[in-house]
């Protein structure tokens, strides 16, 4: 990989090439200056790096990911500040594609692949829940299909971006540290309680994974509306269209699993990611 011009220097690392960019910053392939180990450098935009709240949320990703021992979590090696004051995180360099990219490319994934992805995400996020961490932003962009020929479908499923995650072990499981009423997440995949700005627990992630699996099964998220307010209102008030009305060939057991995960009341959903993973496993071998 040939070096390309980069805007900053990160102490201890040589930035080689930009590999991705989003609203909060950019990701670079890099190598450790002494060991030569290849890494990914996630660099927060300089203007956001002047916000104490943005930097705290950014470094939350490193703290959250480092505390979860699971192969579906990206390893974080280091964090710090670049020479212009921008915050950065050094992490495992992955090769593959996001689930969002895979969804955008025909054909639609098979139901067996849906089960594989859903079970892997549930196991990884369940491991985070066991560490009192709620992800709060599960969506196709935050699921990465890392190439691994030794695994089914040639992919290891990685859950990205624990920057939205909240953890506070001193206040008990699944509590989070933020101002009440704060709206954090991606509207297409947010639970009703998250849409209301209420406190959330592990069952909010169950709902988000239900949204993701619904999209894989049906070709679109549960609610597609014309604006933010309409989407949030739909999550809170509107019933989900049964998946088999959109895709008549879907197994009824999968439809029931999705409708449980997308229940408005947390008490009516699967009560843990483990329970959701077990239901996916119980579906048996699903054909395309």
Question: What's the pLDDT at 62?
Answer: 85
Contact 161, 77 (CB under 8 A): no
What are the 10-residue block averages of pLDDT along the chain, 288 residues in total? 65 94 88 96 92 88 87 94 94 96 93 96 96 93 96 96 64 36 75 94 97 97 92 96 96 97 98 97 70
Q: What are the extents of the domains in the chain? A: 13-91, 96-282
Give Cβ neighbours of residue 261 (< 8 Å, ≥ 6 apart).
206, 207, 209, 210, 213, 269, 270, 276
Question: What's the pLDDT at 226?
Answer: 83
- Superfamily for domain range 96-282: Transferase(Phosphotransferase) domain 1 (1.10.510.10)
Query: HSE on the CB side for 237, CA within 13 Å?
Result: 6
- 13-91 and 96-282 share one CATH topology? no
Question: What's the pLDDT at 161?
Answer: 87
Give the CATH number of domain 13-91; options: 3.30.565.10, 1.10.10.10, 3.40.630.10, 3.30.200.20: 3.30.200.20
Question: What's the pLDDT at 148?
Answer: 97
Determine the Cα–Cα distance for residues 153 and 171; give it in Å rounded to an integer.
40
By the 10 Å C-beta count (0-12 exposed, 13-18 middle, 19+ buried), 7 is classed as: middle
Nearest alpha-carbon partner for 100 in 45, 27, 40, 22: 22
> What is the 8-class DSSP label of residue 107?
S
Average pLDDT over the chain, rounded to an integer: 89
Instruction: Let me know if 137 is a catalytic residue.
Output: yes
Of 70, 78, 83, 137, which residue is the catalytic one?
Answer: 137
Question: What's the pLDDT at 286?
Answer: 54
């Amino acid at each position: 990989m040939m070096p390309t011009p980069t805007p900053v220097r990160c102490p201890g690392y040589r930035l080689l090439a930009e590999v991705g960019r989003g609203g909060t910053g950019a990701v670079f392939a890099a190598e450790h200056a002494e060991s030569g180990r290849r890494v990914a450098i996630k660099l927060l935009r300089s203007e956001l790096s002047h916000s104490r709240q943005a930097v705290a949320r950014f470094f939350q990703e490193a703290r959250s990911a480092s505390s979860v021992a699971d192969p579906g979590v990206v390893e974080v090696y280091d964090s710090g500040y670049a020479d212009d004051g921008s915050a950065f995180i050094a992490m495992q360099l992955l090769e593959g594609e996001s689930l969002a990219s895979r969804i955008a490319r025909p054909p639609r994934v098979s139901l067996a692949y849906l089960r594989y992805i859903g079970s892997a995400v549930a196991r990884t996020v369940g491991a985070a829940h066991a560490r009192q961490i709620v992800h709060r932003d599960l969506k196709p962009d935050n699921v990465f299909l890392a190439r691994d020929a030794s695994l089914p479908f040639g992919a290891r499923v990685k859950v990205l971006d624990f920057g939205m995650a909240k953890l506070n072990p001193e206040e008990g499981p699944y509590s989070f540290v933020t101002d009440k009423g704060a709206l954090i997440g991606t509207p297409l995949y947010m639970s009703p309680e998250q849409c209301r700005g209420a406190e959330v627990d592990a069952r909010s992630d169950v709902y988000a994974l239900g949204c993701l699996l619904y999209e894989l099964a049906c070709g679109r998220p549960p609610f597609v509306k014309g604006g933010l307010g309409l989407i949030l209102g739909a999550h809170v008030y509107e019933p989900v269209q049964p998946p088999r009305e959109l895709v008549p060939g879907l197994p009824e057991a999968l439809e029931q699993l999705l409708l449980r995960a997308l229940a408005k009341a947390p008490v009516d959903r699967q009560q843990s990611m483990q329970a959701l993973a077990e239901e996916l496993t119980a579906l048996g071998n699903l054909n395309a």
